[in-house]
Structure formats: structure tokens, C-alpha cells
A and B are shown apart, each in its own frame.
Chain A
Amino acid sequence: MKRTITIITVLVTQFALANELMAASSVREDTSMFLVWMFLGMCALIVIVQLMPAMFLIFGMLKSLFPSNKQSPVNLQANGEK
């Protein structure tokens, strides 16, 4: 019984220490690339925002090229349909 308690104590201590070590390693992680990704994200945002009017225009043109078959209630009345 005493031997089991000793083994459990050693294991718990080791896990606790391992956890500390992992926490320490994550703190020391190099975060230099974070600013670069943030900068590149801003660049992508500029490109997307500037391209949005062109995308809306293309979407509108495509929509007018392929009109939906669904008729509006006004058109249905004009055609004498109920």
C-alpha cells in the first residue's frame, strides 16, 4: 500500500511539473510572425474592400443574365392569372 502511494505521489508530482514546463514553453514561444500576419491581413482587407464594388457589379450582371422564372404578383395579375 505504502509503495502504491509513493508511486502515485511521484507520478502526480511529475505531471504537475510537466504541466509547469509546458506552460513555460508556451510563454517563451516566438510571436514575431504574429505582426507579419496581422499586416498581411490588413493588406488582404484593403484588396477585398476595394474589389467589393466590382464583385457586386459582376453579381448584378449575372443576375440580370439569368432571371428567375418566379413571376411577381403584379405580373401575375397583368397576365390574368390567379
Chain B
Amino acid sequence: MSSKIKIYLQPTPVRIWHWLNALGIITLCVTAVQIRFPEHVHLFANYKAAILLHNAAGLVVTFSFTLWFIYYALVRRNMVDVYIPSVDDIQNGLLRQAKFYMLTYFLGWANPHHPTPDNKFNPMQKSAYLAIMFLLVPLVSLTGLLLTNLSPMRDLVLLVGGLKILIAIHFLLACSLCAFLFTHVYLATLGKTPMAYIKPMWTGWEEEDEDHHPHSAS
């Protein structure tokens, strides 16, 4: 029987960023439904309330994204290690991880990836987060900020192709982000217990089998 070791995987700034992001993105999705379909959806008191809450949540997500960027790029300086997939990740890791999610997980096999503070994500997570954190979130935040303040950045809106194009881009990017949310929550429950991956994101500490950990004596 293998003993357990505890790894401090999620530091405080990352946890704050993650949960602010979660609350912000869920609020954005819910308010967006009323903003997009005001004649059919009446979740909030009025249209103005939905707009105000959407804008506030958007600003919180943009602020927490900035916190995330400063933390990984300037404080920890390990953004490349954590978020950029290596050659081995692309050549072998992606397939290995996809096989686990699609087949071997259901046969009760162990996850082939064992996280460390500098290599937290498996190859599939790295690829997904690369697209989300470096493309989707910055673009959806930028288009959202442009839509909130149209007049000061009118030239930039015209450069994109006008208001309708900007709204379409913002909507499609937001739909992709919303789709990711469902995948993210589902995959987060695929630990040894449904809460095994969610708990470390709240407490910071993850439990690992000692024989699986690269820094263990064995």
C-alpha cells in the first residue's frame, strides 16, 4: 500500500484568480442570456440590471486575468513551463492523455499525468489553456471593453469592421468560453473522487501517491 504525500500545487494568487474567474464567467454567461434574448429571458429585474452586472463581471474577469498574467510572467516566471506544451507533450502526451480520458479512465487505470508545481497540467490541459488564456480570454475581454466604451475607441471599432462585427466576435468567443466551462467542470470531476481535483483549487494542497511523485525517494 503506497503512502500519500501532500503537494502545495495552487498558491494563493492562483486560487484567488481561479475563483474570481469562475464567479465572473458564470455571471457573464447568465447575464449574457438576458442581454442577447431580452424578449424571452427575464432572469433579472430589468435589462439595465443585466447590463450593469455583465459590465461589472467583465471588469472583474479582466482584472483577475491581469493578476494571473502578472503572477506567472513576473512573480513565478514559469509561465512557459506551465502553459506551453513541450515537443514530447505534442508527440506522445496528447495521445496518451486523450486515451486516458476516452478509454482507460473507465477501466479504472491511473491518470498518466502526475502534477508538480512547475508541471501542473497534462498535455491536453496545456493545449486547451494555451488557447483559452492567450487567445480567448484576452480577445473576449478586449471586445467587451470596446463594447462598453464605444466612443473613445471608435476608430478601433471601425478597424475591426464595425459594431455588428464586433458584437458577433464577442458573442462567438463568449460561446467558446462557455462551452469550455462545461468541459472544464466535467474533467475536474475525473479524479479518484469527484472532489479530488476541486478541493486542491480551494485549499492549495493536493494529495498524491508517494510512488507516483517524481520527487519521492522511491
Contact = CB atoms under 8 A, between A and B. Distances in A.
Interface in A36-57: 36, 39-40, 42-43, 46-47, 50-51, 53-54
Interface string B38-51: 00000011101100
A27 interface: no
A43 B208 CA distance: 30
B26 to A, nearest CB: 11
A35 interface: yes
Nearest to B44: A35
Contacts of B48: 30, 32
A42 B57 CA distance: 11
A33 B52 contact: yes
A31 interface: yes
A39 B27 CA distance: 9
Contact of B45 (A32, A43, A53): A32
Contacts of A30: 48
Interface residues on B, range: 10 to 19
Contacts of A31: 45, 49
Contact of A35 (B23, B52, B204): B52
A43 B20 contact: yes
Interface residues of A, number: 16
B12 A50 contact: yes
B59 to A, nearest CB: 10
Contacts of A46: 16, 19-20, 23
Contact of B16 (A35, A42, A50): A50
A47 B53 contact: no
A54 B12 contact: yes
A65 B57 CA distance: 42
Interface in B1-43: 12, 15-16, 19-20, 23-24, 27
Given A39-B27, A40-B56, A43-B23, A32 B49 contact: yes
A39 B57 contact: yes
Contacts of A43: 20, 23-24, 60
B16 A32 contact: no
B19 A32 contact: no
A42 B23 contact: yes
Nearest to B19: A46
Interface in B69-116: none
A35 B27 CA distance: 11
Contacts of B57: 39
A19 B45 CA distance: 26
A23 B129 CA distance: 53
Interface of A: 30-33, 35-36, 39-40, 42-43, 46-47, 50-51, 53-54
